[in-house]
């Protein structure tokens, strides 16, 4: 079992770029390493039961970080687990890159397969996932590295699964979709595109259907991966550090990191900690704004 690096250390300060008066203050935050010694971490997801799960991708497992207790193994042989998220009742949703499927783990430990094929062909390699309060599921299906050489579909996809299990295709972007997030009210879906260096937005109706595709954030410095939103509608993108944008797509500030981040998630009981998976290390940053979550 890999133990957390228990001593917090200060990596640096950053100043907000032209912050509006009604925006949170991101200056002078402390970046804390809470666990390290990995090769590539991904998929952080906070549970309302008081712990964080994240994927240790090369070692094919999901790890559990409990504040004050450290890290333990949640699941061995995770089938290349990448993105993770919990829903309103505490069920875990996971994108498995090796089996090319999306699964749901029930509270009793039973596993359900939610998606593995589109029109008879295997998915590329589901990457990241989000679940709305009313049970609508959205996930991205790009293909990186060897995944691109063995895929059966000739496109990258963004998909929707309704509460009854029906699956539909939202978009077939030219670039590879990656991170995915919802606003707190569940009305806007954000999707990061790693190749286009942007974030696209979609309007969602009460039935979960998407429309109004548009580029919400463009010209991102670095390769955008995971994304999250806070209660004020600001968008956090893991790229070159973590640039933070307001709902109009204006850059507000950037959280610098010594490693390239892959994903992030708000956590802790007050939802004012941003947990960041960045290659070898799991970081935590305390903020003065709460994360937008769907439970």
Name the fold adopted by 31-286: Neuraminidase (2.120.10)
* Residue 258, H or E segment: none
Would you say 161 and 137 are in contact if contact means Cβ atoms under 8 Å apart?
A: yes
State how far the Cα of 183 lies from the Cα of 157, in Å rounded to an integer: 21
Query: Average pLDDT, whole number, for the chain?
Result: 92
Split at pLDDT 50, 70, 90, the class of 23 is low
pLDDT tens per residue across span 183-230: 999 999 999 999 999 999 999 999 999 999 999 999 999 999 999 999
State how far the Cα of 84 lies from the Cα of 43, in Å rounded to an integer: 5
pLDDT at 258 over 60: yes
- For the chain, the structural domain boundaries read 31-286
State how far the Cα of 31 lies from the Cα of 25, in Å rounded to an integer: 15
Instruction: Report pLDDT for 148.
Output: 82
pLDDT tens per residue across span 80-118: 999 999 999 999 999 999 999 999 999 999 999 999 999
Instruction: Report pLDDT for 19.
Output: 39
State how far the Cα of 212 lies from the Cα of 203, in Å rounded to an integer: 6
**How many CA within 13 A on the CB side of residue 51?**
17
Torsion sign over Cα 274, 98, 180, 14 = positive
pTM equals: 0.92
pLDDT at 22 over 80: no
State how far the Cα of 221 lies from the Cα of 143, in Å rounded to an integer: 21
């Amino acid at each position: 079992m890999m133990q957390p690096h228990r001593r917090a250390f200060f990596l640096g300060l950053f100043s907000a770029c032209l912050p509006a008066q009604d925006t949170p203050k991101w200056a002078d935050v402390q970046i804390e390493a809470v666990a390290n010694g990995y090769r590539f971490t991904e998929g952080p997801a906070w549970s309302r039961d008081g712990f964080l799960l994240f994927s240790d991708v090369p070692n094919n497992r999901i790890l559990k970080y409990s504040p004050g207790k450290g890290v333990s193994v949640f699941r061995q042989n995770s089938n290349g687990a990448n993105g993770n998220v919990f829903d309103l009742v505490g069920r875990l949703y996971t994108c498995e890159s090796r089996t090319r499927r999306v699964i749901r783990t029930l509270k009793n430990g039973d596993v359900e397969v939610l998606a593995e094929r589109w029109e008879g062909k295997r998915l590329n390699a589901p990457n990241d996932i989000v679940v709305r309060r009313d049970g609508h599921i959205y996930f991205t299906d790009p293909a990186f590295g060897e995944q691109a050489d063995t895929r059966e579909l000739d496109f990258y996809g963004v998909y929707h699964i309704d509460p009854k299990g029906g699956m539909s295709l939202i978009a077939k972007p030219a670039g590879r979709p990656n991170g995915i997030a919802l606003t707190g009210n569940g009305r806007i879906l954000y999707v990061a595109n790693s190749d286009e260096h942007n974030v696209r937005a979609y309007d969602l109706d009460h039935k979960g259907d998407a429309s109004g595709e548009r580029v919400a954030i463009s010209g991102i410095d670095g390769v955008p991966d995971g994304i999250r939103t806070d209660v004020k509608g600001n968008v956090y993108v893991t790229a070159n550090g973590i640039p933070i944008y307001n709902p109009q797509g204006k850059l507000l500030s950037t959280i610098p990191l010594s490693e390239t981040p892959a994903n992030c998630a708000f956590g802790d009981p007050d939802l004012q900690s941003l947990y960041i998976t960045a290659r070898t290390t799991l970081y935590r940053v305390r903020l003065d704004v709460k994360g937008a979550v769907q439970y």
